[in-house]
């Protein structure tokens, strides 16, 4: 680092009352990553995951002296698959929750469930999902270009111009910066609607595969942590299915286009999901977005 040049790193510690502080055995990896990057910001996600898995799950044999020796068997059948699961976990969540730049589609129940329909009276528009997804019969996405809210001008060049142009905006930011027609042809040749469908399906498939990976490594993990993570992965699969069904069925009302034939059919009913969301006890809000007190 050149003399006289300073850098900084900051983070938010979302700890709770859980025994492991983070509520999930693998969430500890985020804390570890923050600490490692504070000392060396050139480390890759793969390097950090490799370190964390070895420190967290490797059980040193009682007769082993000196630094741990990781056998090829342990690396091949535990380290590699678990690291792959960790490295894919973020994009899996993006696929089934916020594909192509969609965001803030959460239900009032919390950030685990979808609520793209939620827009009750008395709540600020910019606290509701429809404000962000702007779905209508023409398309979906928030127009933040220079012809829209002009939020794109907050970015330095060349990013500002890249994001402003529908043709050059990366797919992962597309619906954050543009209101895109449902029939718009994406770089992969699919329509926007079809691409959304495939992203939601991909996220669900990834989560299902995480369950298989974790079940296969059971012999390498202590009983308590194995069943804890297994339970979390099962719940994530339930969440991913709900997100896929809710968003596809809700947005299909606007696109009026069929779900591609090779995408799994939804297993939930849209009106039932909306009703369950609206009758959740924490659903009542004041106009300033504070929950109403129960009498």
* Domain residue limits, the chain: 22-51, 69-121+191-289
- What is the predicted pLDDT for the residue at 165? 97
E strand or H helix at 277, and its extent?
helix 270-278
- What is the predicted pLDDT for the residue at 3? 55
Please state, for a pLDDT cut of 90, what percent of the chain lies above it: 73
Please state, for a pLDDT cut of 70, what percent of the chain lies above it: 92
| Mean pLDDT on 277-290 | 52
* C-alpha pair distances (Å), 294 with each of 45, 81, 194: 45, 47, 43
Per DSSP, what are the bridge partners of residue 107?
A: 110
**What kind of architecture, by CATH, is found in domain 69-121+191-289?**
Alpha-Beta Complex (3.90)
Q: Which residues contact 55 (CB under 8 A, 6 or more apart)?
A: 32
DSSP at 260: P
Task: Name the residue among 277, 248, 272, 292 with its Cα closest to residue 119.
Answer: 277
Asked if pLDDT for residue 285 goes beyond 90, the answer is no
d(CA 142, CA 47): 36
Task: Name the residue among 125, 84, 133 with its Cα closest to residue 104.
Answer: 133
Confidence of residue 110 (pLDDT cuts 50, 70, 90): low
Per DSSP, what are the bridge partners of residue 140?
A: 180
- What is the predicted pLDDT for the residue at 280? 62
- What is the predicted pLDDT for the residue at 4? 59
d(CA 8, CA 236): 34
């Amino acid at each position: 680092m050149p003399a006289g040049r300073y850098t900084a790193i900051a983070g938010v510690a979302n700890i709770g009352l859980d025994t492991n502080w983070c509520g999930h055995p693998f969430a500890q990896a985020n804390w570890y990553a923050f600490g490692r990057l504070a000392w060396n910001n050139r480390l890759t996600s793969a390097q950090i995951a490799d370190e964390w898995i070895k420190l967290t799950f490797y059980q040193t044999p009682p007769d082993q002296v000196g630094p741990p020796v990781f056998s090829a068997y342990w690396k091949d059948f535990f380290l590699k698959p678990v690291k792959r699961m960790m490295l894919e976990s973020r994009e899996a969540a993006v696929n089934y929750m916020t594909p192509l730049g969609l965001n803030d589609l959460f239900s009032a129940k919390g950030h685990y469930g979808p609520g793209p329909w939620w827009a009750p009276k008395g709540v600020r528009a910019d606290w509701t999902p429809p404000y962000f997804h702007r779905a209508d019969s023409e398309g979906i996405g928030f127009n933040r270009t220079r012809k829209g809210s002009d939020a794109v001008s907050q970015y330095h060049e060349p990013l500002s111009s890249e994001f402003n142009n529908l043709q050059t905006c990366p797919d992962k930011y597309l619906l954050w910066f543009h209101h895109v027609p449902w029939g718009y042809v994406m770089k992969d040749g699919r329509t926007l609607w079809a691409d959304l469908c495939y992203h939601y399906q991909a996220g669900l498939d990834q989560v299902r595969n995480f369950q298989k990976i974790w079940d296969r490594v059971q012999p390498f993990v202590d009983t308590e942590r194995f069943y804890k993570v297994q339970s979390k992965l099962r719940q994530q699969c339930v969440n991913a299915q709900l997100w896929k069904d809710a968003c596809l069925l809700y947005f299909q009302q606007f696109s009026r286009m069929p779900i591609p034939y090779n995408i799994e059919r939804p297993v939930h009913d849209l009106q039932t999901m909306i009703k369950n969301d609206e009758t959740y006890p924490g659903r009542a809000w004041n106009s300033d977005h504070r929950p109403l007190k129960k009498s």
